[in-house]
Amino acid sequence: MITLSITFVLFTTFFVLLIIGAPIAIALGGASVLSYLYVGDNPVKLVQLGFNAIGSFPLMAIPAFVFAGAVMEAAGISKRLVTIAESFAGSFTGGIGASTVVACLFFGAISGSGPATTAAVGMLMIPAMVKHNYSKDYAAALTSATGGLGIIIPPSIPMVIFGISALGITIPFEALNEYGSFQTISISKMFIAGIIPGLIISCSLLLYNYFYCKKNKVPRATDEWSFNLVFKACKDGIWSLSAPIIILGGIYTGLFTPTESAIVTIFYVVFVGIFIHKELTWKKIKKCIDSTAWLSGRIMLILLTATAFGRLLVENQIPVVIVDTLTALTSSQHITWLIIIGILMFVGMFMETLAAIMILTPVLLPVTYALGIDPVHFGVVMICCLSIGFSTPPLGENLFVASAIAETPFEKITAKVMPMVLISTLAVILIAFVPSLSLWLPSLMY
């Protein structure tokens, strides 16, 4: 009864605030404060939870990449990268949108973070898409949807968290006898297993972008594809292209973490802007700092209130009740997969990704063991589902990042991103139903 009553207070307050037009951060924070008062807790706890959430090391990459993206724009690096992307796109239908998907896939291997990928690519590609007659709403939605690839393509911090969370989980005796090889979950296998699923989701978004542009008659770029044009663009932008090479080389050789790579990127782009391109001035740097502070503050405020909202769900065992109820309905592996995907998608709408992994892994992993599902496969599906949560309201961190960059309302982006969420969900169902898509590469390499 207590769980039902607190759930009613939490969600009723949240939706009422949204209906009367309150900003998303106010709706989340207001519902959380009222719920804390309802259960007799001190609302100061909200601030403590929020501070711990936004003070985490991986989140430091967000303002760093936002600032790096702003400096890239001011230093002339951005326009050279856009020129390179345009030269590869040629006159292909939806070419610039396709370049955005590929760029998010690439930056995902740099940042390991959905919001950071959205920020880094969005600062570059959203203005480029708008320039080529894409609507601001669609450009922001596409960047938001593909930014979630940042946690699927290795290296991925959520995959590390999943591997840690899976340690020490009680496994059903029958499952242990039949699937004894599942006792150890290798994080390196998780990294490798995420490659093909990440490519499948990106290809599904590429197809959607193509048909969307064709249906809405988005004009093609005027220039035909030309090797000479590509070579010239790459030659002119060699310093711009060197930035991701330095970052990837540093990460994969172990010189620095993705968060540290954001700082390295800042130093590199500032050096190139001042001494190579000679387009970066002190006035432009101050403007970059101002825009970064405003955008990062907006994102962190939402994260603060959303963390408190998610913690209330957890403390009152709302996700556990949902899981226990739904998983008791069937013993079919396919139906169970659909239920698990639904649970993860729902939780991803309200809860920060790392918290969701740490909370739901001990609940769901024993169930998958009992059904004979490989834990690496389950981990990849979990990460894929939660990556979609970056683009679903009310938390939808990628949506808020893209909304701020494109300067377009959150609600309009949400409307445009829903078909992309649907097609990504269908791709995840395919990944869940066909285990070899996740397990083939790890079995080949190990």
- pLDDT, tens only, 356-410: 776 677 778 777 777 778 888 999 999 999 999 888 887 778 888 888 888 888 8
Q: Which long-range contacts (CB under 8 A, 24 or more apart) does 223-226 make?
A: 223/86, 223/87, 223/90, 223/91, 224/90, 224/91, 225/87, 225/88, 225/89, 225/90, 225/91, 225/92, 226/87, 226/90
Per-residue confidence band for 310, with pLDDT thresholds at 50, 70 and 90: low
Tell me: pLDDT of 197 over 90: yes
- Asked whether residue 248 is domain-assigned, the answer is yes
- Asked whether residue 302 is domain-assigned, the answer is yes
- Asked whether residue 2 is domain-assigned, the answer is no
**pLDDT tens digits, 244-298:** 677 666 655 667 765 677 788 788 888 888 888 888 888 888 888 887 887 777 7
Better pLDDT: 239 or 168: 239
- Asked whether residue 14 is domain-assigned, the answer is no
Burial class (CB in 10 A: 0-12, 13-18, 19+), 332: exposed
**pLDDT tens digits, 18-65:** 788 777 678 778 888 888 888 777 777 777 776 776 666 656 766 777
Q: How many CA atoms lie within 13 A of 260 on its CB side?
A: 10
Domain holding 254, by residue range, is 43-445
Better pLDDT: 38 or 431: 431
Per-residue confidence band for 118, with pLDDT thresholds at 50, 70 and 90: confident
- Asked whether residue 13 is domain-assigned, the answer is no
Check if the beta carbon of residue 354 is closer than 8 Å to that of residue 161.
yes
Mean pLDDT of the chain, nearest integer? 77
Residue 90 vs residues 213, 220, 229, 437: alpha-carbon distances, Å: 15, 8, 10, 31
pTM of the model as a whole: 0.68
pLDDT at residue 80, rounded to an integer? 74
Tell me: pLDDT of 147 over 50: yes
- Asked whether residue 196 is domain-assigned, the answer is yes
Better pLDDT: 75 or 18: 75
| Eight-state DSSP code of residue 183 | S
Q: How far apart are CA 36 and CA 181, in angstroms?
A: 44
pLDDT at residue 190, rounded to an integer? 81
Measured in whole angstroms, the distance separating CA 15 from the mean position of its chain's CA atoms is 24
pLDDT at residue 327, rounded to an integer? 63
pLDDT at residue 22, rounded to an integer? 77
Tell me: pLDDT of 163 over 50: yes
Q: How far apart are CA 64 and CA 260, in angstroms?
A: 9
Total number of domains in the chain: 1
Per-residue confidence band for 99, with pLDDT thresholds at 50, 70 and 90: confident
Check if the beta carbon of residue 92 is closer than 8 Å to that of residue 209.
no
- Asked whether residue 29 is domain-assigned, the answer is no
Task: Name, of 46-55, 303-312, 325-334, 376-385, the range with top average pLDDT.
Answer: 376-385
Per-residue confidence band for 430, with pLDDT thresholds at 50, 70 and 90: very high
- Asked whether residue 21 is domain-assigned, the answer is no
